[in-house]
Structure 1
Amino acid sequence: MTRTVRLMVGLDRDREPAREGENTFAGWPTVDGLGMFCELDITCRGLPDPVTGYLVNIAEIDAAVRTHALPLLERGVMTAPGRSPAMLLPDLLNAVQRGLRPTVAGLRWRLSPYHSIAMDAADNAHYLLRETFEFAAAHRLHCADLSDEENRRIFGKCNNPSGHGHNYRIEVAVKAPLPSGGMPAPFGVRHLERLVHEQILRRFDHRNLSIDTPEFASINSSVENIARVCHDLLREPIAQAGGELRHVTVWETEKTCCTYPG
């Protein structure tokens, strides 16, 4: 099971000690001044209690994060703000594990709605970097091997001869070596952003995928194919930069997405 714990990491050394607020949906501790908002997803693995049905009481997860992980986050922000956040992952994972009885299988730190880092408890030498990007593109769903009537029947209004557009979102997940000591990250956010810009955004943003791009000259520009094409374009450049591409997810709309490989 996975529990999300929301936190505000305050920058004021003299603030009052953390205490539970009245808006627990927004997370606590809360701060009146400047601070850093983040979310920690704690995933536990095991067998539920046969009587209660609980693997773990979620209140215990919340307490473990706020008691053991929050001080590490506060210390990291105050003493080493330029440090790669990925370097904190092993300590955060161990700290949460100390406060829980079931096995903590992994931890995901959401640094923003569009950027997260995660660590699997079975591998503390690597972390998973995820970042979300956006590009706007037009396309037409049409298969040359089908008749016009069949295309209209299968694709409906998406077969409009003039095409239509989407604001696509793409999340790229890369497994990377954990930074060591004071050395820069072997593969980090800057590497990922540069490669996605070069391989995806520069190629597809504000283009008609069905007309302007050779990648979709012979295949239909479905969200399934877009995810696969983006994955194939990124795989080798990311490997050459020191990372390992795990998967790519493309959202065509808020309700429709595809992950490759699935």
Structure 2
Amino acid sequence: MVELTRVIRFCIPFADGALPEDRHNTFAGTPAMHNLGAFYELQLRCRGEPDPVTGYLADIGDMDETVRRHGIPLIHDAVRTRPATPASHVLRAAFERVRDTLVAPVQSLSWRLTPTYTVTVEADAMHRFEMSQQFSFAAAHRLHSEQLSDDENRRVFGKCNNRHGHGHNYKLEVTVSADFGGENEPGFSLLDLERIVDATVVRRFDHTHLNLDLEEFNGRVPSVEHIAQVIHDLLVEPIRDAGAEIARVTVWETEKTSCTYPV
């Protein structure tokens, strides 16, 4: 079994009128930006067995066309006429339309509303949606294990064992799963997620020395793996109390190094 992913970029013009039909630069986005508008990405995933003759699971042209004809118009209508509608509700309607039209088996549809904020609907959990938002914090740490000798610590951790520590600008992505609320009761929102993560993680972690300032790392090496686990565990209860469930946490220590927990 394979999973095929296709990204469809598009713009919603703020000016009155139907969606433009121009398709001169689909890489940048179609419909294209005309004067002022909103830029979005949809990520369509299909899962199944590829055809033994063609090697295709789905024709990416069909994936593009189905989303553009049956998904984007729903988003256009909501953005222009019902901007207070929860993004998860709009995405669910678009997902159902795309799933019912495309021949290939649709697994999920994700809507990237900003460079950091994404909403996802999965075929096998249609009563719920996932929401992901990114955050950042700066912190220092020292990689040092009390269970190793000084020589062993220097050998294992190298310059990261410097006794004075070193710092990173960490990027954090938190993904939660929540039930769809009603039209007048949207349920768990992006504001809820940002409030909880800010209070529980960012305000506590930012501009600290993890080894010295946070009790969670007392006797625990603050590796990116452990940081992801600690943040996840800190968020479980407050997110559940707000009506959602934490799905996973990803921490980037650098642009090239990240850890996701759980998987």
The TM-score normalised by the length of structure 2 is 0.95
Structure 2 equivalent of residue 31 of structure 1: 33
Question: What does 1:228-243 correspond to in 2, within 5 Å?
Answer: 228-243=229-244
Asked if 1:49 is matched to 2:55, the reply is no
Structure 1: which 5+ runs fail to align? none
Structure 1 equivalent of residue 188 of structure 2: 187
Aligned-pair CA distance for 1:105: 1.1
CA-atom RMSD in angstroms: 1.2
Structure 2 equivalent of residue 75 of structure 1: 77
Structure 2 equivalent of residue 155 of structure 1: 157
| Cα pair 2:225 2:259 within 8 Å, conserved | yes
* d(CA) in 1 for partners of 2:247, 2:83: 28
| Cα pair 2:154 2:161 within 8 Å, conserved | yes
| Cα pair 2:95 2:109 within 8 Å, conserved | yes
Asked if 1:247 is matched to 2:252, the reply is no
Query: 1:49-90, CA deviations, whole angstroms, 9 ceiling, x for partnerless residues?
Result: 111100111011111111111111110011111221111122
Structure 1 equivalent of residue 16 of structure 2: 13
SS across alignment from 1:234: helix
Question: What does 1:20-169 correspond to in 2, within 5 Å?
Answer: 20-21=23-24, 23-169=25-171
* Identical aligned residues as a percent: 47
Aligned-pair CA distance for 1:123: 2.3
* d(CA) in 1 for partners of 2:239, 2:194: 11
| Cα pair 2:85 2:183 within 8 Å, conserved | no
Query: 1:195-236, CA deviations, whole angstroms, 9 ceiling, x for partnerless residues?
Result: 101110111100000111111111000000000000010001
* d(CA) in 1 for partners of 2:187, 2:93: 19
* d(CA) in 2 for partners of 1:63, 1:234: 40
Structure 1 equivalent of residue 7 of structure 2: 4
The TM-score normalised by the length of structure 1 is 0.96
Aligned-pair CA distance for 1:109: 0.6
Greater CA deviation, 108-117 or 41-50? Answer: 41-50
Give, as a single letter, the amino acid of the residue that structure 1 aligns with 2:152.
E
Misfit runs of 4+, over 4 Å:
none
Structure 2: which 5+ runs fail to align? none
Give, as a single letter, the amino acid of the residue that structure 2 aligns with 1:252.
E
| Cα pair 1:224 1:258 within 8 Å, conserved | yes
